[in-house]
Amino acid sequence: MVFINQLRGSFMFFKKFWRKKSNSDIQSVQDKPIAQDKISLAIQTFWTQVKASEQTFNKLEPISIMENLNNLLIDNQLNVIAELTRGDKKNHKIIFTAEGRIEQFELVIRIVKHAPDLNFFEIEAFRTRVENLDAFSITHHDHSFSLSPADLLIYHHEEYRKVSLEIAFGKTIPEEMKQIAQSTAFILLDHALGEYDFAIKIGSVNFLEIPKEATAVSLNEFVTVFDQLWQDKLRHTGIFPLSDKEDRWNVFEISDQNDPDNKRLVQRNETANVLVGDFNYCYALTITADVDSKENLSLVYELEDTINNPALRFNKQGIHCQNTFYQGVRTMLWHVQDKQSAIALAQRLADQYRTLSIKIECEFDPGWSQYLSWVEK
């Protein structure tokens, strides 16, 4: 166990303190993945229970509120954690966190999206950045080791349109504590950059045995540097392009290593780059269509334009990112806000083209992995 030494608002985060049930009870729940078709019901049940108990919860101490919320999450097999801070407008703010586990990020988003209006609680997805990073530190349970943001020396570079890091320690780390120090460094990064940004927008992270000769910045300073890199250098501004006339398509071919004559044609919308990693566009909608004639290809183009322009683009529900053509199959990629509405829309429009063989899929892809598949390093 580690102690996190900083107050957010006037409440302390106590990592893992909320668990009342035994470790074996918790493990047995987490080892049984909840079926997808039951998640919506579990979320609805959780919020019904919270709503019914809200007034009682509000009379409790913060640590007791967290214990109750997290026991309800466990009972409903929702494998995320609820933390508490002082609210901006209401008494408390409940923050749902996956502790950096990207495979649970979609669940966090769904829980928050379906939250009811509560009288005493605000709801937020993912741990946000620590406000006073200079006063933040992490101490090992026996007080034999501590680490603060100033102890991390960060070297950074752009890599595949994300930011990759090399980290050296600005203090001597005993050999037996190196593994703990590296794990602690990840916790510091999570709290400094925010849970979502650290997990999604940071690429590789490597630790150095000794500092490099190049100039490093401390983690305290790196937060500002990161924001500038993300927006100004990588141009992930988060500003939705208002018109498809702004789109700039890059076209290239990729050869199959096993069959050089069998090439994949890729069309990538470079304008969509502004939304890479954006929390609001974390679902990848793909539509694949078999193309065996010019007539079919013409219909696919027509369907593509119909989905993109009046259906998604004009109300900022999604952006057309990429097309590929390989072995007679055209795959079209959008990043969209809402999974269910995007699938329903695509299916409704595709039904108008019954002569086409079409497959529609939508998956959670917050890191835009498909879009970044063939970007330059």
Amino acid letter, 187: I
Question: Quick one: pLDDT band at residue 34, thresholds 50, 70, 90?
Answer: low
The one-character DSSP state at 98 is: -
List phi, psi (to 5°) of 188: -60, -45
Residue 77 clears pLDDT 80, i.e. is over it: yes
Give the mean pLDDT of the chain. 88
Alpha-helical segments (H) within 31-151:
36-58, 62-75, 105-113
Give pLDDT, residue 377: 78
Residue 32 clears pLDDT 60, i.e. is over it: no
Residue 4 clears pLDDT 70, i.e. is over it: no
3-class state of residue 70 by DSSP: helix
Residue 6 clears pLDDT 50, i.e. is over it: no
Q: Which of 83, 56, 42 is nearest to 191 (CA)?
A: 83
The residues facing 167 across adjacent strands are 154, 207
Residues with Cβ within 8 Å of 28's Cβ and at least 6 positions away in sequence, in order, are: none
Percent over 90 (pLDDT), the chain: 72
Question: Quick one: pLDDT band at residue 182, thresholds 50, 70, 90?
Answer: very high
Of residues 255 and 199, more confidence is placed in: 199
Of residues 313 and 104, more confidence is placed in: 104
Mean pLDDT of the region 130-159: 89
Residue 5 clears pLDDT 70, i.e. is over it: no
Burial 37-69 (b: 16+ CB within 10 A, else e): eebeebbeebbeebeeeeeebeeeebeebbbbb
3-class state of residue 243 by DSSP: coil
Mean pLDDT of the region 292-316: 87
> Distance between CA atoms of 308 and 153, rounded to whole angstroms?
44
Q: Which of 156, 132, 158 is nearest to 217 (CA)?
A: 156
pTM of the predicted protein model: 0.86
Burial 85-109 (b: 16+ CB within 10 A, else e): bebeeeebbbbbbbebeeebbbbbb
> Distance between CA atoms of 73 and 349, rounded to whole angstroms?
38
The string of pLDDT tens digits covering residues 37-54 is: 799 999 999 999 999 999
Mean pLDDT of the region 85-110: 94
Residue 30 clears pLDDT 50, i.e. is over it: no
Q: How many other C-beta atoms can be found within 10 angstroms of the C-beta atom of residue 70?
A: 22
Residue 13 clears pLDDT 90, i.e. is over it: no
Give pLDDT, residue 143: 66
Mean pLDDT of the region 166-178: 92
Give pLDDT, residue 190: 94
Mean pLDDT of the region 261-287: 94
> Distance between CA atoms of 110 and 98, rounded to whole angstroms?
12
> Distance between CA atoms of 311 and 332, rounded to whole angstroms?
15
Residue 110 clears pLDDT 60, i.e. is over it: yes
139, two tokens: 């101490």
Mean pLDDT of the region 267-277: 97
Question: Quick one: pLDDT band at residue 243, thresholds 50, 70, 90?
Answer: confident
Mean pLDDT of the region 321-339: 95
- Please answer whether residues 275 and 281 qualify as being in contact, where contact means their C-beta atoms are separated by less than 8 angstroms: yes
Give pLDDT, residue 259: 74
